[in-house]
Amino acid sequence: MDRHLFPTRSLRGSLRVPGDKSVTHRGLMLGALAQGESWLYHPLKAGDTLSTAGVMRALGAEIHEEGAHFRIRGVGLALKEPGDILDCGNAGTLIRLVSGLLAGQEMFTVLTGDASLRRRPMGRVTAPLRQMGARIDGRDGGRLAPLAIRGGGLKGIRYELPVASAQVKSAVLLAGLFAEGETEVTEPAPTRDHTERIFRHYGLPIEVQGNRIRTHRAQPFAARDLTVPGDFSSAAFFLVAALITPDSEVTLEGVGLNPTRTGLLTVLKEMGADLSWEVTEGQDGEPVGWIRARSSQLKGVAVDPSLIPLMVDEIPILSAAAAWAEGETFIPGLEELRVKESDRLEAIAKNLNNLGVKTEVGPDWIRIFGGSVQQGRVEPFHDHRIAMAFAVCGLQTGVTVHDAEWASISFPSFWEDLDRLRGKD
């Protein structure tokens, strides 16, 4: 479905963004593994996390939608062998994390997903899980889904992550809950630490020492309610929208402000953004607060590559901000963008080009020459974040977004929320 956005003069108001996608995936998985009943409050109910609910149900958990929440009855560590293959849809976090869980279970499962997911690299999880003792097969020697897993009999390993990936870290830690002895993961750079925090919330074994994270075999653990913070990655679209639109002020409330997620705030500040935020509470182990953005004249910067893992999902929207900034923005360290829901480096460059913005692209970097956005057409390449980021980029000039429904993978109310801020209720 095409969505036409007429030029926007101003964005005003306050908003609560939907629940965090990463925390919802983990909340559903751990609630499903726990013993007894718990509530997952304010989860994200969107394409990706509904895939997780479906998979955890097929593995024996009861998951009921109750208004805005989920009520979960967990299986007490022993998942049930499903009668059919498990469809992970578009969700990379689901297929990778659940591979870790299934590696620990004495049963046979097959995981698959949509065309995008079946193109994404799985060797990064199948390699350490095989080292732990799981038998895993798949296309291209286990590097691509569908993956067939026969789990059980795991031994703990010490594993140095070859890429900075929270999904791989989490898959190994989840498998570690079922493994004999200790499992240790070393990260090359800090990545989002929601798994470590949720383990603590449930009283599961977890020890963090610098870049080393350890766990060991878990005993059945009691169900516990969990409240999901608003998703910083969803908030990011409206923050940047307010910064680049004249006469704008937008406040986002109840947003997760976990420092392993907020690298974008550092970069936008450096670009001259009028941004303020405050952590107002700690909610089940995650810092939560508000963020306010006002119209700003941004300037181009060279982004510090060590910040990329702390903003890996925000590169598309940062590129939109760079398109409106004065001068050049250089973003290095982007090799992982090639293997997201789309080849995001390519998708960013093509959409900027459609909107009249000049770029140069290397294997793992992009240079964006700001200041010349024109009216145009956005092509999401089946990628939710590309659809939303470049809709924002074209807000002032007017833009047509092709296949706009892709936003619902992580943010089903995106278009309505945007209309509210534009005063088009």
What residues are designated binding site for phosphoenolpyruvate?
21, 92, 120, 167, 344, 385
Secondary-structure percent of the chain, ordered helix, strand, coil, rounded to 5: 35, 25, 35
Binding residues for 3-phosphoshikimate: 21-22, 26, 165, 167, 313, 340
Packing angle of the helix pair 47-58, 21-33 (nearest 10 deg): 10
Q: Which is nearer to ligand S3P, 38 or 165 (CB)?
A: 165
Q: How far is the CB of 375 from ligand S3P (least distance, A)?
A: 30
CB contact at 8 A, 286 and 26: no
Q: Which DSSP helix (H) or strand (E) runs through 28?
A: helix 21-33
Packing angle of the helix pair 232-244, 414-421 (nearest 10 deg): 30
Q: Residue 129 corresponds to which amino acid?
A: L
User: What count of residues does the chain have?
Assistant: 425
Q: How far is the CB of 155 from ligand S3P (least distance, A)?
A: 24
Packing angle of the helix pair 232-244, 384-393 (nearest 10 deg): 20
Q: How far is the CB of 339 from ligand S3P (least distance, A)?
A: 8
Q: Which is nearer to ligand S3P, 8 or 22 (CB)?
A: 22
Q: Which is nearer to ligand S3P, 109 or 167 (CB)?
A: 167
Binding residues: 21-22, 26, 92, 120, 165, 167, 313, 340, 344, 385
Q: Which two tokens stand for residue 132?
A: 């732990």
Q: How far is the CB of 186 from ligand S3P (least distance, A)?
A: 15
Q: Which is nearer to ligand S3P, 56 or 166 (CB)?
A: 166
CA distance 425 to 419: 6
Selecting among 48, 313, 383, 417, the annotated active-site residue is 313
Strand partners, 209: 212
**Which spans of this chain sit near ligand S3P (rule: CB under 6 A)?**
22, 93, 165-167, 170, 192, 312-313, 336
To the query of whether residue 313 is one of the catalytic residues in this protein, the response is: yes
CA distance 45 to 298: 34
Active site residues: 313
